Amino acid sequence: MKKHILPIFAALTGLLLSGCAQNQTATQSLDDVFASRRSIRAYEAGKTISEAEIRELLTATQNAPSWANQQPSKYYVAIGHEKREAVLELIGGNKERVINAPVLVVSTFETGKSGFFRGQPVDATGDLWGAYDNGLSNAYFILKARAMGFDTLIMGMRNADALRTLFEIPENETILAVIALGYRAQEPKTPAHRPLDEVVKFYF
């Protein structure tokens, strides 16, 4: 009987250890996410991302800080074929770079909220605080996407007027970026970064 039990026990142990190893591989530290996230300009064709996965990703963006918790950021998700194809025609030279990305997301922010008190801007920055908050939200978006195994490209080339019409975006929202979401087709090079002392000054 022992002869039969030992091989079974060994097989089960192997499966358990294998499962633990897979979980360790799947779990990334924040530094791992920072190190592996890149602006991806070539995506694998034929892959999809589910609505549930996108909802999980966008839920994470709601943790981003914003002025007085105004939460001005909004997202318009082109996941269906027709809307996605329409957005591709409105992003200029980036079209060919993201043509295989299964999801395209338009990022906006509500004006007159961040940086305002009782309808008046609190300083000369004005609605730039809204853009700042939207940038923070987008940062959460791209980092959560990478943690989930996805890749992104934030694109500034876009026909804002046409996008507004396509998604019926209200006039009180400023359209900032279109974000491609998908899977990298190749490993990008790590870009060079400026020396830290060129961008940071310490005062003691």
Give the domain CATH number at 153. Answer: 3.40.109.10
Q: Is the pLDDT reported for residue 41 higher than 90? A: yes
State pLDDT tens for residues 77-90: 999 999 999 999 99
Domain count, the chain: 1
The Cα–Cα gap between 78 and 80 comes to: 6
Say whether 182 sits in a helix, a strand or coil. Answer: strand
pTM (predicted TM-score):
0.85
State pLDDT tens for residues 97-123: 999 999 999 999 999 999 999 999 999
Residue 172 inside a domain? The answer is: yes
* Contacts with 106 (C-beta within 8 Å, 6 or more apart), sequence order: 75, 76, 78, 87, 158, 163, 167, 169, 175, 177, 178, 179
Instruction: Specify the residue for token string 């358990």.
Output: 16
Residue 174 inside a domain? The answer is: yes
Mean pLDDT value across residues 26-34: 86
> What does DSSP say about strands 103-110 and 73-78: parallel, antiparallel, or unpaired?
antiparallel
Range of the domain at 154: 42-182
